[in-house]
Chains A and B, each alone.
Chain A
Amino acid sequence: MIETIKGLDRKVAPAIVDAVNFNLQLKPYKKLTLKNGVDVYTIDAGAEEVMSIEWVFYAGNWYEDQNLVAATTNFLLKNGTRHKSAFQVNEHFEYYGSYLNRACYNETATVSLHCLTKHVGELLPAVRELLTDSAMPEDELAIYQQNMKQRLKVNLKKSEFVAGRLIDVYLYGEQHPYGRYTKEEDFEHLNKQQLFDFYDRYYRQGKFVMFVAGRLPANLEQLLNDNFGDLGNDPILGKKISTQPSSERKFRVINNAEGVQGSVRIARPFPNRHHPDFLKVQVLNSLFGGFFGSRLMSNIREDKGYTYGIHSYLQNHIHESAWMISTEAGKDVCEATISEVYKEMEDLREEPVGDEELLLVRNYMMGSILGDLDGPFQIIARWKNIILNGLDENYFYNSINTIKTISAGELQELAQKYLRPEEFYELVVV
């Protein structure tokens, strides 16, 4: 044995550098503007010869006049063009080992490509074809309707799925894009013409932004201009849609009488990222239920064993948000779980957090951001969030500064302001 082992005191932790002292930097993007005025944000970095490109359209369900039109249009984008069948489209992207995905959110809808950098030149014309010449074929729509109805049936058997829909209805109202949910008959009301009109207005002609990251080819700007520099980029006007929150606050729903667990959701409305409390509440949220060492997890999982996991978070919406607590708990301990959640709120309102615990939360959050800034895809994801929310790099640095400097007193004030049980919706679905 070597000398150092003698006298090794395992009870004493090695010295650490507090993560709170780190000087975190968000690598700046390089911005290109295509001939048609489309903004392209790029991060050129990474160890592997891979890259990602994302096209973000203002084509989320915020802009639809009928349920599912935005999501279905987005889904069918790659299911056939005027010149290629859905199979041929897929075969082309898959032959080059690339992944072409699409996703529809509330405000935005995206198309994303992940590929080896060496293949990007073969792939961009195929993406262009989807954005200019997608055909939305009738038979593809019919298959989609049939299979999505089946999927919905399976999902409706899951209490967590049902709970996720209902809590959003209480928070925002069923008519609001954040609260609207899918019923089986909504699929039947879709028709090709609606989808095509939506496609034409919001994809072919509508404004879009691009995010590109990874090991980028030297001729990137040229490639993007050749393929996307002549597409429409007309401004899209967002409608103002107000929320209609429920006046009732407590709900108990039975979805499956034989269920062994209940899906518990407790949530309150919360302003968006532009509100001065948003970043501070992120810290309070971490302390409350935002990570493994949080109050909720320590009490309800690690002390009581009521659940495999309990989390709290601020919903990722652009217009307005909600503060949500979510867990799947044993059926007979759901009510006890809810009482404990309120007890933890009370503790945060009544008692200022101790220095040691606050330092731990700060260090955890800083370490987590440091780890999360690792790699080009993670960096561009942060920028995307900042840009799409109409913020700038100050948001990132303010966030770091808030983590470093927020005081126990401020956290307690925020708890008193927001963690008031009477302002939360409360739901259990068994």
Chain B
Amino acid sequence: MIQFEKFTLANGLRVIVHQDTSTPMAVMNIMYDVGARDENPERTGFAHLFEHLMFGGSVNIPNYDEPLQMAGGENNAYTTNDLTNYYIQLPAENLETAFWLESDRMLSLAFGEKSLDVQRKVVCEEFKEHYIAKPYGDVWHKMRELAYTRHPYRWMTIGKELSHVENAKLEDVKEFFFKYYRPVNAIMVVAGNVTTEKVKTLAEKWFGDIPAGEKYKRNLPQEPEQREERQLEIKANVPLDALYKCWHIYPRLDRRYYITDLLTDILSGGGSSRLYQSLVKEKQLFSNIECYHYGSTDAGLLCIEGKLVKGVKMEEAERAIEIELDKMKSELVAETELQKVKNKTESMMAFEDMSVMNRANSLAYYELLGDASWMNFELEKYGSVTTEDILQESRNIFRKENSNTLYYYSGN
């Protein structure tokens, strides 16, 4: 059970306090309710570029990093399709430094040309490093565009293309900030060696006078149900053929999300998982194979991807995957097999919760989803999944007309 207390400032900023006196450290985690899915389709990559700009100085503090490092702190941030998260860890004695820094950049950024100019370049290098310079680096750009026709999950967090980032203007940056980076769209978790009383005082002092802003009402185009199977072939300068298949699944808050999550663990994720045992070890069609899902807030994708053993035909490899999926659709998995993936989930959560930072991050995420206390019911939800559920959802998900397949051929 993760204990916490929650209060809301007059400007709508939600604050969660999670005390853990076994650590000398404090953590501040601020999650903003904006991600790549909220971007203009003509200006993708913006939420992430913006995350970089958040470190370019704020209205009263020219340099964000230096005072934090001086206080013995470290920080980082990440952007997903759903949200943007900033976190700091520092010695608990210096907690107020985090309040000072984070409140000033929530108040307003410095909006310097130089910072935008440099971070555009940095993000372009990040884009190149991860998505252009790497073999198979373009797969998820292509797959998202194949699987989503309307929902903004059709582009990646880094952006659809380099030019979107290169063309970002300072006025776009300002507009984005005042629309999304307001107290009313943010959740702050303070955790570690802290008291609620002290957090309350500091929160009022530093965040209390920031204008609330307007609550962002998300109204995204919904993805229509897929009715026809989709396929795409790519030929590129890569050494091996690879196969990628995706199926639409459920939103994060749907009960079937938990079923799907366990289902992917049955298929892959360990040396005794089905796809690995059958296709890598027994049939030796793939040199590696994985099954996972996006874990996104809106309905995401379940994916299977693998690289083919040299000489194996694409059709043969795909057929072998289908045989495994047919088994999932026709026979109940064994109770012990289900118990195995439930045990794995239990232990994974215990390991994750060892770190105060992870606990703070999870509390913020569940609060963003609706209620921080849901964090404490996750295990129960996984526990309630039955072998019947797995069978039913395998039938629902692994339908041809729900599938998207990308055949990635080696051009050598």
Residues in A lying within 8 Å of B, measured CB to CB: 1-2, 4-5, 8, 10-11, 13-19, 22, 46-50, 78, 86-87, 89-91, 94-99, 114-116, 143, 146-147, 150-151, 153-154, 156-159, 256, 258-261, 291-293, 301-308, 328-330, 359-360, 363-364, 366-368, 370-371, 374-375, 377
Contact = CB atoms under 8 A, between A and B. Distances in A.
Contacts of B281: 86-87, 143
A326 to B, nearest CB: 12
B345 to A, nearest CB: 8
A66 to B, nearest CB: 23
Contacts of B270: 90, 94
Contact of B346 (A87, A97, A143, A256): A97
B145 interface: no
A101 to B, nearest CB: 11
8 contacts: A10-B103, A17-B91, A47-B22, A50-B354, A150-B307, A157-B237, A305-B117, A305-B118
Contacts of B94: 16-17, 19
A308 B233 CA distance: 31
Interface in B89-126: 89-91, 93-94, 96-97, 99-100, 103-104, 107, 117-126
Given A4-B201, A87-B277, 20 more contacts: A2-B205, A8-B205, A11-B60, A15-B96, A22-B72, A78-B271, A90-B270, A114-B347, A151-B287, A154-B238, A158-B135, A260-B128, A303-B118, A307-B125, A330-B121, A330-B124, A330-B128, A360-B66, A363-B71, A374-B23
B69 A291 contact: yes
Given A1-B209, A146-B287, A367-B74, A13 B239 contact: no
Contacts of B343: 95-97
Nearest to B343: A97
Interface of B: 20, 22-25, 59-61, 65-67, 69-74, 89-91, 93-94, 96-97, 99-100, 103-104, 107, 117-126, 128-129, 132-136, 201, 204-206, 208-209, 237-240, 270-273, 277, 280-281, 284, 287-288, 307, 309-310, 336, 339-340, 343-348, 350-351, 353-356
B310 A150 contact: yes
A8, A11, A50, A371, most chain B CB atoms within 10 A: A371
B356 A374 contact: yes
Contacts of B135: 154, 157-158
Contacts of A1: 208-209
A2 B204 contact: yes
B204 A367 contact: no
Contact of B239 (A17, A19, A147, A157): A157
Given A14-B97, A97-B346, A367 B351 contact: no
Nearest to B277: A87
Nearest to A307: B125
A37 to B, nearest CB: 32
Given A90-B272, A143-B284, A305-B117, A371 B60 contact: no
Contacts of A303: 118
